[in-house]
Structure 1
């Protein structure tokens, strides 16, 4: 779906959480979001959005291009297009259009999967030949690493680009970019990028995925977790990756996903892996989804999490997101009060085993808590003693 002001507002929020001292400097951008004009339109001369990519090669050099319109050597970037689904995706598209480098040859820098590396505001001179007065650009810069070991062929966009240059960090033109790049840890190497979806509904519940119990073969085997997975070569951005995973794992297509932040998890090999988290709202019934991986999907409120086999990091992430929601979104929806939650009702009975079977022969089982005194972490018919 097309980019929205809300997408920018959320992105700025994550950026300012890292750079709170820049809030005053970005005041004009924040004010423009609340105005009546579309700041994605290049004809909005009070100020519009530009997306750029800071691409670092294996030698630690930054990709720069000679922009013919301005005669300045800068990192690749340009205006957004109606087909862009994210700011980072627009930046990657500009790199491909201007230099021919395919998006698959780049990976987000760890820790910057869903957060801009830099946001800048600068004035642009008038261009009478194109009927453009002097105006303001809101520059969103995203950080990528060129992860291919082989030389990447370059095909220049001749009508806009006069050449390319790989510059050392201290020769990057933009002062704010240069300052941040020089503070990067040069030994940091990007890991395999992963993305997960934090899906919530109007009742303040979260959609969790019970993973198959195959220890050693599946990450977080037998735990409740978020839907998602690793970025594959066909995924231009991490948002593309999480959307593909949602479609493949559950046949789920969300109208809107917004970046919530980056989490870090430890895989089975003991390595720390960055995971980009995208949040989206959905009010459907998970029983109607076609699940191709794992055991089941269900809604759970933050107060239910202590009963589940769930990673501490996932539980903390859900609680943090729930705390960030306005009161109108974190609790029950008046229109939906009285409806039963798709994950069912807890039966308060004593000394009874409940055996439920569908006409197709499938049987309802419950996964016992790992701290249970009897048969922990195993599946049983529902029972209370």
Structure 2
């Protein structure tokens, strides 16, 4: 990141013809839950926005043939990130230390990983935040406005028509068309024609001796389903689904489960929001376990409670309710959101 870049101001809505050495590039990275990846900068005097949340990015360096190459290099160098699809979204202007305006090309791209798994080489940390949380953060108003505008367009299903939102590089030009970030309908083929990977999630269905089901209340600032009840759940890493379930139960709630005591009970093939990556949500029952549920990841879950299946709490993640209904009726599979 170019530490000398100052706070951004909105750019005029037209193409900016500028030498590449006087342009920067930043990435507006979002996930399927509508949260945005922000970078907490070092609190060091003399750098741009010390101690503030910002976007990943930086300035053009020798060898960069386009601003897309610039942002891809910066993402790799700063966080080891490689995002296949980056779309030009907007152009902002930064006022440099000598008072001149430097354009910043904003690229938007989707990624659904855990920031804690990234190897950050600059700054303090990376974290997901939804736009409604951002007013409580120390960050540039222009960055907050970028996320708000992008979220509105995502919710509408497109980036919308309008003038070019790219900077013409010297010798190369990124596309001037404003492309949609995802297909218009959940079942549409990917714009590239490539297969769309499905994300695998695992969920723990646990019943106590009274027939009550264990559910957790997610943290209000959780990237997904804040203030909502849900299964103990997680995403598969380099592991089998059952191994993931055993690990998540131990890490999130201190429950010890023998893989031999786990049985598959339901799957929900889900499109949570139109245009987001499909998810295969696998639900497993543990017939036996050791331990009492504890709050071990308070940034994700603030409470564990047992609930009668006929009196489940509200709000409850809709596909979790569908899975519980399926388990109680002996149904093994549900499709959700494929309209």
TM-score interval w.r.t. the shorter chain?
A: 0.3 to 0.5
- Compute the TM-score of the two structures, normalised by the length of structure 2: 0.43
Q: Which gives a bigger RCO, structure 1 or 2 (Cα 8 Å, sep 6+)?
A: 2
| More helix as a share of residues | 1
Report which of the two structures shows the higher radius of gyration computed on alpha carbons: 1
